[in-house]
Amino acid sequence: MMGYTDRHGRYVLRRLFPDALLYTEMITARALYHGAPETLLEHHPAERPLALQLGGAEPELMARGAGYARQFGYCEVNINVGCPSDRVQAGRFGACLMREPERVADCVEAMREAGLPVTVKTRLGVDELDRYEDLLRFVDTVAAAGCRTFIIHARKAWLNGLDPKKNRSIPPLDHARVWRLKRDRPELQIVVNGGLRGVADCLAQLAHVDGVMIGRAACEAPTELIDIARVLFGRPPPALYDVVADALDYAAAEQRRGVPLRRVLRHLAALGRGRPGARRWRQALDQAAVGRQSLAALRSLAAELFPAA
């Protein structure tokens, strides 16, 4: 998720959710081609398993991006066929690629050369191309090129008229359509995304599909999902104090590498959400980010606000 799952956000998410597969923000294949891949793709090994999400529609550039994914230790490369932003549409990738399944298939085929699994994240449809048959045609065409896993954001996108934010709330969710896809294509891995907030939501979906992808809830209200370790993976969930203490050590190490503290600490604010002292926690993080409070003081406050259960 752009603006959330940068490498520091993923480091914290990994501590919260030891069993999850994490995804990068979308990185365009062009940026990798023209920019410095080592800067765009570097990450802490603790973040793994980690999938690289690429935006793009040119098979050669996408193949090059997949090669980098492998070189830099990612376990999967994912194609963004869900983003409706104007900027992405202008580049003719993202959700508008639902209109061009053959092009996506060409990308998949070229990217598979790198030897990593190539997956696709998409929507139920775009604009008037929103019948179940349209989705099936897209999935079948792309699957024929060797994509075995589809992550489906269970709503369509309106490419003209709705901005990305509205495209994440106004088109109605239709999880049942994703379940139907799994019933019709049992040989594919179908992962559902959209509107899942808590562990109960995830369990309800997993009766119908192979996996769940969680976006906003993981960043905005992660503690509501923390029990997922126990429920799905049979292990005790991490203690919040330990997550914070580890993240503060990480923040200090990153600071020594020249990373501003704020860039790490901002990812800790959501841990206080809904708890007594949430405001104090946010204020303390803000103060520490500008050097008006020490990391040791933050750690003491964390011991008070996140006591062991």
Ligand X SMILES: Cc1cc2nc3c(=O)[nH]c(=O)nc-3n(C[C@H](O)[C@H](O)[C@H](O)COP(=O)(O)O)c2cc1C
Q: What residues are annotated to the active site?
A: 83
Q: Is 168 in the site for ligand X (CB under 6 A)?
A: yes
Q: Is 266 in the site for ligand X (CB under 6 A)?
A: no
The number of beta carbons lying within 10 Å of the beta carbon of residue 285 is 22
Instruction: Say if residues 251 and 265 touch (Cβ distance below 8 Å).
Output: yes
Nearer CB in complex with ligand X: 121/175:
121
Q: Distance between CA 80 and CA 28 in Å, rounded?
A: 9
Nearer CB in complex with ligand X: 83/143:
83
Q: Is 1 in the site for ligand X (CB under 6 A)?
A: yes
Residue nearest to ligand X (CB): 215
Instruction: Identify the residue among 80, 85, 119, 167 touching ligand X (CB under 6 A).
Output: 80
Q: Is 161 in the site for ligand X (CB under 6 A)?
A: no
Which one of the spans 10-18, 56-64, 180-188, 189-197 is the region binding ligand X (CB under 6 A)? 189-197
Q: How far apart are CB 157 and ligand X at their closest, in Å?
A: 10
Say which DSSP state 127 is in: T
Report H helices in 185-308.
199-206, 216-220, 228-233, 240-256, 261-265, 278-289, 295-305
Q: Distance between CA 283 and CA 269 in Å, rounded?
A: 9
Q: Distance between CA 59 and CA 108 in Å, rounded?
A: 8
Instruction: Identify the residue among 12, 13, 26, 178 touching ligand X (CB under 6 A).
Output: 26
The number of beta carbons lying within 10 Å of the beta carbon of residue 116 is 19
Tokens standing for 56? 């793009």
Instruction: Say if residues 159 and 143 touch (Cβ distance below 8 Å).
Output: no
Nearer CB in complex with ligand X: 2/203:
2
Instruction: Identify the residue among 9, 82, 101, 171 touching ligand X (CB under 6 A).
Output: 82
Instruction: Identify the residue among 17, 50, 53, 64 touching ligand X (CB under 6 A).
Output: 53
State the binding string over 194-213 for ligand X (x if CB under 6 A, else -). Answer: xxx-----------------
Nearer CB in complex with ligand X: 212/301:
212
Instruction: Say if residues 147 and 76 touch (Cβ distance below 8 Å).
Output: no
Q: Is 50 in the site for ligand X (CB under 6 A)?
A: no
DSSP string, 54-102: EE---HHHHHHHHHHHHHTT-SEEEEEE----HHHHHTT-GGGGGG-HH
| Axis-axis angle for helices 101-112, 59-71 (nearest 10) | 40
Instruction: Say if residues 18 and 229 touch (Cβ distance below 8 Å).
Output: yes
Q: Is 215 in the site for ligand X (CB under 6 A)?
A: yes
Instruction: Identify the residue among 43, 153, 156, 177 touching ligand X (CB under 6 A).
Output: 153
Q: Is 125 in the site for ligand X (CB under 6 A)?
A: no
Binding-site ranges for ligand X (CB under 6 A):
1-4, 25-26, 53, 80, 82-83, 121, 153, 168, 193-196, 214-217
